[in-house]
Amino acid sequence: MSRSVGPTVLARGREAVARRVGVDVRALAVFRFSLGLLLLLDLLLRSRNLVAFYTDAGTLPRSLLAAEYPTFAELSLHALSGVAWWQGLLFVVAGVLALSLLVGYRTKTTLLLSWLLLVSLHARNPLVLNGGDSLLRRLLFWGLFLPLGRRWSLDSLRRERREEADRITTNRVATVASAALLTQVVLVYATNAIIKLRGEYWRDGSAIVRVFSLDQMVVFLGDVLAGYPEVLHVFGELWLVMVVASPLLLVLTGRARGAFAALFVGMHLGMLSTMKLGIFPLVSVVALLAFFPPSLWQTVESRVVDPLRRRDRVARGMTRLDGLLPAVSTESVHARVGRLRALTARLVPAVVTVLLALILVWNAMSVGVVATPDVVESNVEPGQFTWNMFAPGPLSVDGWFVVPGRLDSGERVDAFRRAPVDWEKPADVDKTYPSARWRKYLQDVRWSGDDDVRRGFASYLCHRWNTNHDDELQSLTVSYVQQPTRLDGPEPTERVTLFEHTCSA
């Protein structure tokens, strides 16, 4: 009797762990599809400022990138040329890869190339990056070790044609890679919770009210909610409880886990509809897809996917698309791939285990839970690279930029907004920032105190104006009109001159 108890307990333990770190392959299919859409959306949004952020005529020419971030300059394929057509070409290639990922064509290869191009793009201009970009890179990376193309993809369609249907009889993938993906998502919330608890505004419940008092952040429904501080206070308390309890995403299973993940999704969609945060809320929603239970994906399959498969037009379209795409299939290639798969099957789990351990230690160091070794601290400060969204507290000062410039004719204009100089508070402060990335960049210009970065911004404004106007810009002054956040009194504005610049210089 005692001999049979041990294996039974061990088997139950393994199954309990598998239920918590496993991911449904249909969830991975939706995850892959969503990553493709995210990459496309990100490229479209970035393309609006392709010249401003990614060319030598922009705010960060390659000479400045090399001076400020030499390692990034060497690693970025986008930094090989500073002309617009080169950036446009790489954007198109990345877009094609995103479409390929979306339909699941050569998923592994497409995912790897997409990740490499995304890393290159991020390295080209670190000044416009935010937490959403960092999370997106990590989602693509962990996806490299997961079977994202096993279901609902052109890859799976080709396997069915070759009568090579999956031998795996379960829809669940429970590996170190699936555990790493889920852990990565929880780490974002858990480390953010630790930093939030160190700030007084989150503990006293006023943090969200303060966030919604920042006119540069609030958009859409946020303008309405800003008038109801009691409601915001409740949402703030709820969000703090959620991020503190986020490890439950790894503890719960089934519908309970799905319900908790759905609560996070709802909060992120609320952020999307109220705050100017770029793609960060959408990246977070995609990251949470892996936590939803098989029952949901079974419903999606029976009510959406299977009916589509039965439609002749859809089936013919998929078959036609598959026929248009190149197929590489030779016996020698299959033999080599078989040997490579046998090698990677043993090597990859070990590598992923080491990487998972490293991210756990890194995040622990970033919040001070684990002491940072001297050899690490002398090269990089982990605390500078952590998930500190609105933590330990939101900005205490709101504001907008005014850049008075003097033309050859003596006339004065706002060189940034390309309008008459106006120091009064705009009706919509958020619209003074062309996008969330512009807001992130301009805050770096304001807070960094780096003269070279500031000159890059001023030189861009001079070049942009002088290439489009006969009455050229001679000089400009970059100013910030700041307005402190005071929930119980008046909020006076103050003009702060950041720096002056002569265009001819």
User: What is residue 216's predicted lDDT score, i.e. its pLDDT?
Assistant: 92
Long-range contacts of 446-450 (CB under 8 A, 24+ apart): 446/480, 446/498, 450/68
User: What is residue 91's predicted lDDT score, i.e. its pLDDT?
Assistant: 98
Long-range contacts of 307-314 (CB under 8 A, 24+ apart): none
Ranges in the chain, pLDDT < 70: 1-6, 161-169, 310-345, 376-378, 383-384, 489, 505
Q: How far apart are CA 433 and CA 417, in angstroms?
A: 9
Which residue is listed with tokens 């780490």?
187
Per-residue tokens: 166: 């999956």
Give Cα 316 distance to the centre of its chain.
Answer: 35
CA angle 54, 218, 193 (to 5 degrees): 85
- Number of helices and strands in the chain (H, E): 24, 7
Residue 36 CB-density burial (10 A; 0-12 exposed, 13-18 middle, 19+ buried): buried
Closest alpha carbon to 176 in 151, 139, 145: 145
User: What is residue 309's predicted lDDT score, i.e. its pLDDT?
Assistant: 72
User: What is residue 128's predicted lDDT score, i.e. its pLDDT?
Assistant: 96
CB neighbour list of residue 82: distance below 8 Å, 6 or more residues apart:
55, 56, 57, 61, 62
Closest alpha carbon to 210 in 411, 504, 460, 486: 486
Q: What are phi and psi of 412, to 5 degrees?
A: -110, 135
User: What is residue 78's predicted lDDT score, i.e. its pLDDT?
Assistant: 97
Closest alpha carbon to 143 in 18, 264, 242, 39: 39
pTM over 0.75: yes
User: What is residue 158's predicted lDDT score, i.e. its pLDDT?
Assistant: 79
**H or E element, residue 477:** strand 473-484
Are 127 and 272 in contact, with CB atoms under 8 Å apart? no
DSSP-derived letter for residue 140 is: H
User: What is residue 162's predicted lDDT score, i.e. its pLDDT?
Assistant: 61
Residue 401 CB-density burial (10 A; 0-12 exposed, 13-18 middle, 19+ buried): buried
Which residue is listed with tokens 């992120």?
268
Q: How far apart are CA 232 and CA 442, in angstroms?
A: 27
Per-residue tokens: 137: 């890179």
Which residue is listed with tokens 């239920």?
19
CA 397 to each of CA 166, 217, 427, 434, 489: distance values in angstroms, whole numbers, following the listed order: 57, 12, 18, 20, 14
**Mapped to the 3 state alphabet, what secondary structure does 21-88 carry?**
HCEEHHHHHHHHHHHHHHHHHHHHHHHCCHHHHHCCCCCCCHHHHHHHCHHHHHHCHHHHCCCHHHHH
Long-range contacts of 250-255 (CB under 8 A, 24+ apart): 250/20, 250/21, 250/182, 250/183, 250/186, 251/20, 253/19, 253/20, 253/293, 254/19, 254/293, 254/295, 255/293, 255/295
User: What is residue 331's predicted lDDT score, i.e. its pLDDT?
Assistant: 43
Torsion angle, alpha carbons of 479, 42, 147, 245, to 10: 40
Which residue is listed with tokens 């009210």?
209
Residue 20 φ/ψ region, left for φ over 0, alpha for ψ in the -120 to 50 degree band, beta for the rest:
alpha
- Each domain of the chain, given as residue ranges in start order, spans 25-149, 170-298+356-395, 398-502
User: What is residue 333's predicted lDDT score, i.e. its pLDDT?
Assistant: 41
CB neighbour list of residue 325: distance below 8 Å, 6 or more residues apart:
105, 154
